[in-house]
Structure 1
Amino acid sequence: MATTATQTQTHEVSPYDFSQLEPYVHPPETKEDLPWSELVTLDLSDFDRPGGKERLAKQLEHAVHHVGFFYVKNYGLTQEEVDRQFTLAKNFFALPVDEKAKFEVDYANADYNGWRRSGLHSSGPVKDNIEMYNFAKFTKDFEGKYQHPDLIKAHLPEIEKFSKALHSNVVLPLLRLFAIVLQLPDEDYLVRQHTYEKRSEDHFRYMLYHKRTPEEHEASGYGQTGGHTDLGTLTLLFRQPIAGLQILGEDGKWTWVSAQPGTITVNLADTISHITGGYLKSSVHRVVAPPKDQWAYDRTGLLYFARPHSDTILVPIEDSPVLKAAGVKSRFTEPVSMGDWVKAKQTLQLNPQISAKKYAESGDGTVEVIAGFRDRRYQ
C-alpha cells in the first residue's frame, strides 16, 4: 500500500524547545554548619482569607523595620514554571560571548537592560565572576527598544507571563501589607505607585556567579568585601541551593541566608526606605564565596526588582501615624524623582572607575549619590 505524505511527514522540533535544551539541575545543598539567619516566612495563601492580611502584616512588623529580609511561599507559580526559567538562564549563559555581546548593556548611559559581562569590577587582584541578563518591563514604554537572542525570543511570552505574575502575586500584596504596617488609611497607597502599566524601572534578571578555583577564591578574599543595598523597592530572589548570600545584622555580624524549599527570598531596598524616611529598612547584604563543598558549582539566580513609577518623588509618606511618631525626615536635600535616583545610583554601579574615584575623593567610605544622600561601603 502506498504511503501518504501525511504519514511520512515528521514534526520539526525547534532547537529552542525545552526538550532540546540542557535542563538546569539544582546543585546539592551545603553540609557545613553555618550561622544561618532566622527569617520570617510569609504564607501568601493566607492573604485573601478573613483576617489574613492583618496576620501577615503583624508577622512582618519586626522584619521590615529591623531586618529587611524575609521569605514568602505559596506565591502562585509552580516549581516546574520556576525550573523552566532556571533552564533558560543556564542555556542563555552557555551561549558564545560574541553572541551575548550583541545584546550588551549601555554602561555609559546607565542602561542596565540586556547582558552585563563578568569581569567589570575587581576584588583584589581578581575580576568579578558575575554575569547578568536583565529584561525590561513588558510594557509599551520599552516595546521594541531591546533585542534578544533567538533562544530568548522563542520563550519571551513565557518570560513575560512569569515576570508579570511576580509583580501581581508577590509585589502588590506585599505593598498592601507594608501599608497596613505603616497604618496608612489607604491600603493601596503604595500599590498606586507601583502599577505595572506605568513607566518604571522594574526588571527581571538571570544571574550567574561563575565557579572559581581555590586560588581565585583566596586571591579575592573569599568575596568577604563590603556589602551593599539594592536601589529599588523590593528584590525577589528565587531559592537556589548554593550558599553565599549574607545579611548584616544590627549587631554588626554577618549571617547566611539558607535555601528554604518552595520560597522566594525578599529584601527591602533603598526606595522603600526613602519614602519612609529610613523606617522600613533597606537591607545591607553581600554574596561571598560558597562553602567549600559547593565550590564545584556555578551559582545561578532568578531575580525580580520592583521599583515605583519613574516620576515618583522620594519623600516620606505624610499619612502614616507610624512615621509621624518616629519623626522621620527626607533623606534628600531637594526633591528627587525615582528616575533621577535610578540614573544616579546606576551610574556608580555600572561604571566602577567613576565609583572608585568618588570613594577615593571622599576618604570616609561614603559617596554622595544625589541631593545629599550618601551611599556607604559596608565591611
Structure 2
Amino acid sequence: MTNAAQIIPVILSGGSGTRLWPLSTTQKPKQFHRLIDDNTMFQQTCLRVSPQVDTRFGSPVVICNARHEDYVIEQLEEASITTGTVITEPTGRNSAPAIAIASLHAQAKDPEAILLILPSDHAIPDPQQFRDSIFHGIAAAQRDFIVTLGIRPTGPETGYGYINAGEKLDAHAAKVKRFVEKPDRETAEGYLAAGDYLWNAGMFLFKASAMLAALKDHAPDLLAQAQEAYAAAKPKGRHVRLPLDQFSKCRSISIDYAVMEKAANVAVVPVDFAWSDLGSWGSIWEQSPRDGENNSLHGAAVASDSRNNLIFAEGIPVGVIGVEGLVVVATPNGVLVVPRDRTEEVRKIVDALLPNN
C-alpha cells in the first residue's frame, strides 16, 4: 500500500432486516439497534474501520435511506465520529446504484482512492484480524482488481452465496472463478469438501476508477443513471441528498449481478475471521453472551428453570419458566415466540402480519 493511498470505508446502511422482527422494522432496521454489544451494529461497523484505530482509513462515507438519516447522524455522534459524508437515498435501489454513487463521490476527490464496501449490520468479534484481512487485499486492488473478502466456511451453510476461488494472484488474493447462489444442503457439503469455495459476505475493496470502468463495461445504463443522480444532488455540509426524480430512475440491482458475476478482473481474499450477518434470531443467540443455563437475556428479561433460550425484552418485561430452546422477543412493535432452530422462518410471520413491510 503506497503512502498516498488511503482506504475510504463506505458503509451501506439501507437494509430493512425484517428477519429480526419485531425489533427490527423498516422504520428502524437492525443495524440501528444494540443487539450483542453496547454499540449498535452500525456503530460497530464504523468503529472497526475508524481513522482513530488505524490512520490508513479515511473518514467514512455512509449511504442510507433518507428515513434513517437522523439515526445515522445521532449514532455517528454517539460514537465520536465527527467527519465523513452521509449520502441519503430517497428510495431503495439495492447495492449497485449505491456503490456507483460512492465511486463517483470518491473519484471526484481522488480517482485512485481505494473504497472498502461494508454492510452495516455484520458481527465481527475480532476487529484487528478483520483489518489485517482488508490490508491483504490492497495489492490486488491497486492492480485494478475488484477484490471481495471470502469467508472460509465452517459448515455446509445454505443461507449464504459462495465464491469459487481460482488461481493465485499473490500471497493473499486469488482470481474468482465464479459466484454461485445459495445452495441446497447437498451442494453446500460438496463446496465444503472441495475446499476452494468461500462464503460471500458482501465486502469489497477496489479503486474507484476500477469500479467505474467495470460499470461502464457491464452496466452502462446504471452508471449513466447514477451519474445523473449524483450530478443533481445538492451537497450541504457533510450531507449529500440524492434527488428522487433522478435516483428513482436507477435500475434496482445488486452489485453481484451488475458487475461481480460479469467482470474478469475480480479477485477474492480468503479470510478466517469469525463473522455473522446476524440474519436471524438464532444467530443473535449464537453471538450473544449467555448465562450458566445457556440463556441469552436482553433487557428486562428473567428466566427460571429454563435453558438454551434467547429472551429479548425491549420496553416490556418478559419472564419464562420451564422452557428450553426458545426465542422470545417482546417489543412495542409485537411479540415473537419461535423454536430457536426455526428462526429462519420469521419472514413468513412478517409477510402475514405486515404485507406491505
The answer to whether TM tops 0.5 is no
Q: Which has the larger radius of gyration?
A: 1
Indicate the structure with greater strand content. Answer: 2
Taking structure 2 as the reference length, what is the TM-score of the superposition?
0.24
Which TM-score applies when normalising by structure 1?
Answer: 0.23
